[in-house]
Amino acid sequence: MNTIAPLATAATLAAQRTCSVHVVTAASHAAQLTSSAACVAVVVVVLFLVTLTRALRRAAAVVAAFLQLAAAMTSVVFTMVIVAMVAVVLLVH
């Protein structure tokens, strides 16, 4: 009994010290992981916004080209209607 008590006390103290060191270390690692996760999240958000901006610019270019095509077609159709009206007026007169 005399040899077990000092060993048990030493083991208990060592376990408490190790446990508190592990808790402090774990808290430190958790803070580092949180800051790392925040940095990764910021990088992901920035990359997403850059990609979205590029996609929107390309979509705007496509819409602009479509509007130019529609304007050209409208002017051609308008010219054809005027020519047809003039032809009808000349044929009827």
> Over the chain (93 residues), what is each successive 10-residue block's mean pLDDT?
59 57 58 72 89 94 94 91 93 85
Q: What is the Cα–Cα distance from 18 to 28, expressed in whole angstroms?
A: 15
For residue 66, the model assigns a pLDDT of 95
Q: What is the Cα–Cα distance from 40 to 29, expressed in whole angstroms?
A: 16
Count, residues in the chain:
93
For residue 81, the model assigns a pLDDT of 92
Q: What is the Cα–Cα distance from 88 to 22, expressed in whole angstroms?
A: 96
For residue 51, the model assigns a pLDDT of 94
